[in-house]
Amino acid sequence: MLVVRIGLLVLYVGGMALLSRYLRGRLPVSTGGSMLRGPTSANVILWIWGPTLWVVPGLLWLGILNLPLGMVLVLCVLLPLCEIALFLWLSRAMAGTALVFVLLATLVVLFLALTTPELYYTRFVLFVVSLMAPPLLSIWLLATWAPRVAPLPDTAERRISNALALLLGFFTGGPKSTWVVEDGYVRTRIAGNPWLGAGPGLLMTEPENVVVLKSGSEIARVAGPGVVLLERSEMPYRVVDLRDQARGTRITTITRDGIEVRAPVSALFRVNRGNREVRLGEAWPYRSQGDVLQALFAEEVDPAGHSVLDAHTAHPWEDLPAKLAAHKLEQALSFYSLDQLYGGVPDDAEGGQAIGTAPPTAVGQGTSTDAHIELLKTHRRLESALGLPLAASVGDSLTRLTISRLGLRAVRKALEPRGFDIHDAGINGSIEPLSHGVTEQRVEAWKSRFMAKVVDWQAELERKRAMALSKIRQEAREKLLSEMIEEASKRLTVTDSEARRDFVAYTMLSSLIRIAASPEVQRQLPDSALPTLEHLYEQVSDLSEPEEEI
């Protein structure tokens, strides 16, 4: 009998090794379709406890318990099976009806065994303990191992029970589905059954994504970022990216003076985060599930699509800010003429300049002032047309910047109640006429106006220069005259009347010749002026010489 028991032990060890190796390569895997189907509880018992071959160790008690062979074999099967079934029922991997059936069968066989005559009760207790201990040890090891294998966050509630439910659901062969979000798209990892599968479903998202879940035809909740356990019938509906989004488009519209222009439009936005900030090592935040759902269901259908399919297709929520900005800016550009689009409000009229009040201007700029006032009025008309409250400042040094600001305010007013956080929306490039001929005509017109301004500036500078020269000459004459009078008054006090007359003539001619000899004065005098003065000077000098000799 000892040889038989040793042989059974050898078979037990060898059978466990072979069966474990066989089942290890045949675990349930997803091949793109549904997983292996079958009795779910039986699959769990086969793949997890099958390699233990718990029936074989009970055969070592043959001939020791004074029980029939059939009853020993039934007890070797039912006692560990009842323990495993109770564990699976607590882990939600086995139905309650199966547990009741196994439990009733085990109680019946135990009652028959305990009522057998000449039963060694001490040996029977040891027999029961030897059968119950290995499954109990394996259950303890499984409960310790499952939380380390299952991809659950450390902060998850009921971590051990959820990990066991997830792991056992996988081994049933018919679990709920498992999805992974990669590059913004939902990809199926285990094609289970969201309605009838065992265990919880699993969804793993990237740190910057959340997923809107649906249950049947209804929206259930917003899940993520991170690892999410799914309830019955829950499945991914749409992925929402929490990062900053940038979208762009181009618009074509007609200005107030009938010129067709085009311009690039861009929008920078995200799902509203409230006061929360992105932190290193943490998932992207968002203010509330309501903001995510509001942004997601802000999709719209454009009946004016380029094709029948486009006219009946809902555009994603990420495209809405750019499309709305394009619509508002198309409306805005139609308020302005082409000259106004390339103009602006000067710095002294920016912001607080009241409508109808002329900003301070220099001489000769009355027409420019009227254009600035008209531009400010146009800004205000556009502000009212967009349904915006009046702001203290609308003017800017460039009209394009003012239009972009008004467009940004209009987009924020429309989309912020829908869960959007709009950072920027406006024209991000030059506004260009579609016709090249229009551009050439406008350049020539601007060139003519600029040349006229240049001529006016030159005339004004020449006038100022002439006034400055006249002032300088007047000051020089006054200074020269004062010097002559002072010098003459000193010398005439000691001479007779005729000598005084000659001296005055001599002094005046000397001063006039000195002034006329200046290059700047010569350009203003006729060519005969300087020789005439010199001739007179010589005559005065000849008249004064005899008197000096006397």
**Highest mean pLDDT: which range of 49-63, 245-259, 384-398, 517-531:** 245-259
Domain assignment present for residue 369? The answer is yes
| Closest to 224 measured CA to CA, from 262, 190, 193, 181 | 181
**Highest mean pLDDT: which range of 188-202, 325-339, 383-397:** 325-339
Structure confidence at residue 45 (pLDDT): 83
- Residues 492, 397 share a domain: no
Q: Is the pLDDT of residue 358 over 60?
A: no
d(CA 304, CA 169): 50
Q: How confident is the model at residue 322 (pLDDT cuts 50, 70, 90)?
A: very high
Please report, as a single letter, which amino acid is at residue 235: M
Q: Which two tokens stand for residue 111?
A: 């009652």
The residue from 188, 213, 241 where one domain ends is 241
pLDDT (tens digit per residue) in 220-259 = 999 989 888 898 889 999 999 999 999 999 999 999 988 8
Structure confidence at residue 543 (pLDDT): 52
Q: How confident is the model at residue 447 (pLDDT cuts 50, 70, 90)?
A: confident
Structure confidence at residue 365 (pLDDT): 41
- Residues 283, 397 share a domain: yes
d(CA 247, CA 253): 20
Q: Which two tokens stand for residue 199?
A: 């265990």
Judged by average pLDDT, the poorest of 110-119, 335-344, 353-362, 437-446 is 353-362
Domain assignment present for residue 358? The answer is yes
Q: Is the dihedral of CA 515, 520, 525, 529 positive or negative?
A: positive
Q: Is the pLDDT of residue 408 over 60?
A: yes
Q: Is the pLDDT of residue 545 over 80?
A: no
- Residues 360, 328 share a domain: yes
Greater confidence, 409 or 197? 409
pLDDT (tens digit per residue) in 11-68 = 777 877 787 777 777 766 654 444 444 446 777 887 888 777 777 777 777 778 888 8
- Residues 430, 467 share a domain: no
Average pLDDT over residues 189-201: 82
Q: How confident is the model at residue 118 (pLDDT cuts 50, 70, 90)?
A: confident
Structure confidence at residue 347 (pLDDT): 57
Q: Which two tokens stand for residue 448?
A: 């003519």
The residue from 149, 165, 197 where one domain ends is 149
In percent, the amount of the chain with pLDDT more than 90 equals 21
Domain assignment present for residue 360? The answer is yes
Structure confidence at residue 274 (pLDDT): 87
Structure confidence at residue 34 (pLDDT): 46
Q: Is the pLDDT of residue 383 over 80?
A: yes
Structure confidence at residue 350 (pLDDT): 44
Q: Is the pLDDT of residue 429 over 70?
A: yes
Domain assignment present for residue 310? The answer is yes
Average pLDDT over residues 349-360: 43
Q: Where are the beta strands (DSSP E) in 118-244?
A: 178-182, 185-190, 201-204, 209-215, 218-223, 227-230, 234-241
Structure confidence at residue 117 (pLDDT): 83
* End-to-end CA separation in angstroms for the chain: 180
- Residues 349, 255 share a domain: yes
Greater confidence, 147 or 346? 147
- Residues 23, 112 share a domain: yes
Structure confidence at residue 210 (pLDDT): 94
Q: How confident is the model at residue 550 (pLDDT cuts 50, 70, 90)?
A: very low
The residue from 434, 449, 473 where one domain ends is 434
- Residues 251, 236 share a domain: no
Structure confidence at residue 244 (pLDDT): 93
Q: Is the pLDDT of residue 352 over 50?
A: no
Beta carbons of 250 and 261 less than 8 angstroms apart: no
- Residues 251, 392 share a domain: yes
- Residues 382, 265 share a domain: yes
194 preceded by a cis bond (ω within 30 of 0): no
Q: How confident is the model at residue 208 (pLDDT cuts 50, 70, 90)?
A: very high
Domain assignment present for residue 160? The answer is no
Domain assignment present for residue 442? The answer is no
Q: Is the pLDDT of residue 470 over 70?
A: yes
Structure confidence at residue 190 (pLDDT): 84
pLDDT (tens digit per residue) in 129-147 = 888 888 888 889 888 888 8
Structure confidence at residue 381 (pLDDT): 92
**Highest mean pLDDT: which range of 129-133, 489-493, 534-538:** 129-133
- Residues 179, 97 share a domain: no
Structure confidence at residue 354 (pLDDT): 42
Domain assignment present for residue 15? The answer is yes
- Residues 226, 294 share a domain: no
Beta carbons of 40 and 198 less than 8 angstroms apart: yes
Q: Which two tokens stand for residue 452?
A: 């006229």
Q: Where are the beta strands (DSSP E) in 380-477?
A: 420-427, 432-433
29-51: string of b/e by CB count within 10 Å (b at 16+)?
ebeeeebeeeebbebbbbbbbbb
Domain that holds residue 208: 175-241
Q: How confident is the model at residue 357 (pLDDT cuts 50, 70, 90)?
A: very low
Domain assignment present for residue 167? The answer is no
- Residues 417, 293 share a domain: yes
Q: Is the pLDDT of residue 313 over 70?
A: no
- pLDDT, mean over the chain: 80
Here the CATH number for the domain that contains residue 400 is: 3.30.479.30
Average pLDDT over residues 536-550: 55
| pTM score, whole prediction | 0.66
State the total domains in the chain: 4
